[in-house]
C-alpha cells in the first residue's frame, strides 16, 4: 500500500468521535464607524507604514518622488510610473533586488489591522519583497472592516489567482524583534512602506 493510502486509512480507522462543521456566521466581528480612518490609524501606528493622499494635480511619478526623493532605481509595471526595472520583463527575479523603490497596486485595505491585499499582477512577485522600499497604491473607497470581510472579498473575486497563483496581505514594512525583543524595521523584505491613498 502507498503511504498516501496508509495515512488515509489510518486516519479513517482511528477517528473516535466526529464533529460537525461549525456555523461561522454566528461570529459578530468588529465594524468601525469610519473604516478608512481606522485603517489610516492602524497603518501609521502598529503597522509602521507612511501614508500619503494623492493630490488631484499630482501624477504617479510625482507621488513616488514625494515619498522617496532619493530613490534612483524604481521598479514597477504600472501604467503612469516611470521605472528602470519592470517585473514583467526582467530576465531573473534577482534583478529586482537592485530596486530602491517598488511601486505596486493594492486591491483593498483591512481596517482592523492595516493589511492590504496584493494579488500578484506581475510576472516576478520579488518586486513586493526585494525592493528596499515599497509604494502601495490603494483606492480609499476599498476598505473593509475585518479579515472576515476580506476573505469574503477574495473568495468572491474571479480575477485573483488566475494568471499568477499568488496573493498576499501586507501590513507595513518587514519587521523583526529577534534580537533581545528590540523592534527593527527591514529584516529581510521592504524596510519601509508608503501607502498612497488615491
Partner 1 sequence: MSTKHSKYAEDYLKDDPVVDRHDKTFFGVREKRDRMAHDLPEWEQLREAADNIKRHTVTHLADYLEQFEANATKNGIHVHWAKDADEYNDIVLRILQKHNVKKVVKSKSMLTEECHLNENLEKNGVEVIETDLGERILQMMQLAPSHIVMPALHVHREQIGDCFREKIPGTTESNDPTYLTHVARLHLRQQFMEAGAGMTGANFGIASKGEVVVCTNEGNADMSTSMPKLHIVSMGIEKLIPDYSAMAVFQRLLARSGTGQETTVYTSHFRGPRPGGEMHIVLVDNGRSDILGNQEHWQTLKCMRCGACMNTCPVYRRSSGYSYTYFIPGPIGVNLGMLRDSNHYYDNVSACTLCCSCDNVCPVRVDLSKQIYRWRQELDELGHADALKKFMSKRMAWMFNHTGVYNGALSMAKMMNWMPRWILNSKMNPWAYGHEMMKFPKKSFHKIWKKMKDEK
Q: Binders of partner 1 among 28-47, rule CB under 8 A? A: 28-30, 42, 46-47
Secondary structure of residue 148 in the 3-state scheme: helix
**Residue 107: closest CA among 115, 99, 96:** 115
Task: Give the cell for residue 79.
Answer: 501604467
- Phi and psi dihedrals of 120, rounded to 5? -70, 120
Q: Binders of partner 1 among 88-127, rule CB under 8 A? A: 93-94, 97, 112-115, 123-126
Residue 134 CB, nearest approach to partner 1 (Å) = 10
**Residue 100: closest CA among 62, 68, 78:** 68
Interface residue with partner 1 among 76, 77, 121, 174 (CB under 8 A) is: 174
Q: Does the footprint of partner 1 cover residue 24 (CB under 8 A)?
A: yes
Interface residue with partner 1 among 100, 154, 157, 198 (CB under 8 A) is: 154
Helix (H), strand (E) at residue 5? helix 3-14
Q: Does the footprint of partner 1 cover residue 3 (CB under 8 A)?
A: yes
Q: Does the footprint of partner 1 cover residue 17 (CB under 8 A)?
A: yes
Q: Which is nearer to partner 1, 78 or 93 (CB)?
A: 93
Interface residue with partner 1 among 67, 103, 130, 197 (CB under 8 A) is: 130
Task: Evaluate whether 46 touches 114 at the Cβ level (below 8 Å).
Answer: yes
Amino acid at each position: 500500500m502507498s503511504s498516501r493510502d496508509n495515512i488515509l486509512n489510518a486516519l479513517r480507522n482511528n477517528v473516535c468521535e466526529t464533529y460537525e462543521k461549525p456555523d461561522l456566521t454566528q461570529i459578530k466581528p468588529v465594524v468601525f464607524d469610519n473604516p478608512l480612518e481606522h485603517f489610516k490609524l492602524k497603518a501609521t501606528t502598529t503597522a509602521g507604514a507612511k501614508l500619503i493622499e494623492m493630490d488631484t494635480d499630482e501624477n504617479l511619478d510625482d507621488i513616488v518622488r514625494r515619498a522617496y526623493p532619493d530613490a534612483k532605481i524604481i521598479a514597477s509595471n504600472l501604467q503612469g510610473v516611470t521605472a528602470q526595472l519592470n517585473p514583467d520583463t526582467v530576465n531573473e527575479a534577482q534583478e529586482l533586488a537592485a530596486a530602491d523603490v517598488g511601486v505596486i497596486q493594492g486591491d483593498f485595505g483591512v481596517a482592523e489591522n492595516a493589511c492590504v491585499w496584493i494579488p500578484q499582477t506581475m510576472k516576478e512577485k520579488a518586486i513586493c519583497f526585494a525592493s528596499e522600499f515599497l509604494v502601495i497604491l490603494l483606492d480609499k473607497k476599498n476598505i473593509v472592516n475585518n479579515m472576515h470581510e476580506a476573505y469574503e472579498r477574495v473568495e468572491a473575486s474571479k480575477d485573483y489567482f488566475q494568471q499568477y497563483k499568488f496573493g498576499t496581505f501586507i501590513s507595513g514594512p518587514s519587521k523583526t524583534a529577534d534580537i533581545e525583543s528590540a523592534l527593527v524595521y527591514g529584516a529581510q523584505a521592504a524596510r519601509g512602506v508608503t501607502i498612497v491613498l488615491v
